[in-house]
Amino acid sequence: MPETSILRANNITYDYIDSFQGEFIDKFQNVGTTEIGKSFFSSGPKWIDILFELRDKLVGFFGLKTSEKITDRQKILNNFKCEKGEQIGLFKVFDKTDDEIILGEDDKHLNFRVSLYIEKQIGNKTDKKLIVSTTVKFNNWFGRIYFLPVRPFHKLIVPKILKGIIKNIEQQN
């Protein structure tokens, strides 16, 4: 996780942390956290949406938060400004700076955050890194049990989303 990430500022001890990074070219130097945030919601493969639908069906029985059924994703994304307090599905915007947007949710079993962090390269204005970090804080034993089967899928999903975001951003450039 980047040293200057918002997730480090609050000195919380997390039960799980991971980070994945990729590089992209920002030819016109116009890619910011809003573009990255919107791309996060539109760059994943279809099988990830299917997994989230399955997750929602299963965890609803336990009283956990589920995503609202999104009928017109593009309309929602067009209106999404990536501002603090906005929400798409399970992901609420907790914070945003010029270099980072924090998404996540608090639930009774666990709290999670996803940092989408743009790292600019010294001496090069167009080459940038995108670092996707996830933190999880368990609130009870059920959170630990819930995360056991989620963890392997998470390690597959996040790199796919990262690659999708980079591909999407570079195609728009």
CATH number of residue 130's parent domain = 3.30.530
- 54 contacts 66 by C-beta, under 8 angstroms: no
Which residues have a Cβ under 8 Å from the Cβ of 137 and sit 6 or more positions away?
Answer: 12, 14, 15, 110, 111, 112
In a domain, 130, yes or no: yes
C-alpha–C-alpha distance, residues 101 and 6, integer Å: 9
For residues 98-107, give the mean pLDDT.
Answer: 96
Q: Is residue 2 part of a domain?
A: no
Q: How confident is the model at residue 47 (pLDDT cuts 50, 70, 90)?
A: low
C-alpha dist (Å) from residue 36 to 39, 111, 115, 129: 5, 22, 11, 12
Tell me if 66 is assigned to some domain: yes
The residue-averaged pLDDT of 3-10 equals: 90
Mean pLDDT of all residues in 114-141: 94
Confidence of residue 54 (pLDDT cuts 50, 70, 90): confident
Could you tell me which residue, 105 or 53, shows the higher pLDDT? 105
- pLDDT band (50, 70, 90) for residue 111: very high
Residue 104: closest CA among 79, 129, 126, 133:
133
Higher pLDDT, 13 or 67: 13
pLDDT at 73: 62
* Residue 139, domain member (yes or no): yes
Q: Is residue 164 very low, low, confident or very high in pLDDT (cuts 50, 70, 90)?
A: very high
- Asked whether residue 85 is domain-assigned, the answer is yes
CA 148, 139, 100, 72: dihedral to nearest 10 degrees?
A: 70
pLDDT, tens digit (0-9, with 9 covering 90-100), for 57-94: 776 767 777 766 655 666 777 788 899 999 988 899 99
Is residue 35 predicted with pLDDT exceeding 80?
yes
* Any domain includes 7: no
> Rounded to two decimals, what is the model's pTM?
0.88
CA distances to 39, 40, 139 from 163, in Å = 11, 10, 31
* Count of domains observed in the chain: 1
Q: For residue 58, tell me if it sits in a domain.
A: yes
127's tokens: 């080459």
Q: Which of 151, 114, 156, 153 is nearest to 135 (CA)?
A: 114
Least confident of 39-48, 112-121, 122-131: 39-48
Residue 4 lies in a domain: no
Range of the domain at 64: 16-172
The pLDDT mean for the chain works out to 88
